[in-house]
Structure 1
Amino acid sequence: MIQRIQTIWFFLATLILVLLFFFPLATKMVDGSLEQIYTNGLHHYLQGKNGKTLNVEVFLPLLISHIVLVILCFVNIFLFKKRSLQKRIALLNIVLIIGFSFWCSIYAKELTGGIEGASFGIGAYLPAIAILFITLAIFGINKDERLIRSAERLR
């Protein structure tokens, strides 16, 4: 069976998770300096006499788990011949994204003074969109399974 719409949904979920690398989760202004939380770390933009400088505090475990999420979602595209495995990996991916989002919220407390007064960027909402796309892919897989079962009944 040729995989149809779920390929697009898994690709869009992968694209959304890749975009999460580039958009901040939270932003906060502290004493004239800008602090932003990304999935790869905490970025401090300090306003000095010579202009802006950037200090980065890297969150390596969070970064590695984000890369694993992207790879897992991308590999799931090519498992279309094993639909039950594809559905299980998609469900696992949803659970991992929820856990990853919770973990990101814990790291967001690394901002100076906590998350009070911080504005949440588009990166804070991208995991929910990725979960939506993966859920739509699961619906597409179920639709293919129903189609195959009905075709087998006609034989």
Structure 2
Amino acid sequence: MIQRKQTLWLLLSVICAGFTFKYPFYNGTVINGTEGVTGAEVTATDNIWLMLLTGAIILLGAAAVFLFKNRKLQLRLTLAGLLASAGLIALYIKYINNFEPGGRISLSALFTVGIVIGFFFAMKGIRRDQKLIRDLDRLR
């Protein structure tokens, strides 16, 4: 159901996660002899772990969109997506340590923050729906 607020927030998270494949999180110079990072910038395609975690976030968000009839499972998947997106930021920060000082975080790193924000507000909307259903059941 597209008209629900949490669906729009989940779609925002999925779109932002998709953008992390194309746009960099960090720009700088890699320290010689490091493994796990290639090139002068860090994107989700630079490392297998970044790619897998970002792909899992996309799948969790997309699956949660279509589980609008099962709010309990939708809430669990959204919470898992929120935790995975926090882990994604931590993984990006871990790979930033492989760069020489003087690099900078890109403006497109906001896409990664947008994933967290989208999952957070989607959880808020799902909880609001659960509360509304409980209140309606109490009135019957």
Q: Same fold (TM over 0.5)?
A: yes
- TM-score under structure 1 length normalisation: 0.76
TM-score by length of 2: 0.83
Larger RCO: Structure 1 or Structure 2 (Cα < 8 Å, ≥ 6 residues apart)? 2
Identity of aligned residues (%): 27
- The Cα offsets for residues 40-72 of structure 1, whole Å up to 9 and x where unpaired, read as 11xxxxxxxxxxxxxxxxx12221221111111
Residue pairs, 1:12-91, within 5 angstroms: 12-28=12-28, 35-41=40-46, 59-91=47-79
Q: Cα distance, 1:7 vs. partner?
A: 0.7
Match of 1:50 in 2: none
Please give the alpha-carbon distance, in whole angstroms, between the structure 2 residues aligned to 1:133 and 1:66. Answer: 14
Point out where structure 2 has 5 or more consecutive residues left out of the alignment: 31-38
The runs of 5 or more residues in structure 1 that have no matched partner are: 42-58
Distance in 2 between residues matched to 1:63 and 1:36, nearest whole Å: 15
* 1:145 matched to 2:133: no
Q: Is the 8 A contact 1:6 1:136 kept in 2?
A: yes
2:91 aligned with 1:103, yes or no?
yes
Higher helix share: 2
Report the structure number with the largest CA radius of gyration: 1
Q: Which runs of 4+ in 1 moved over 4 A?
A: none
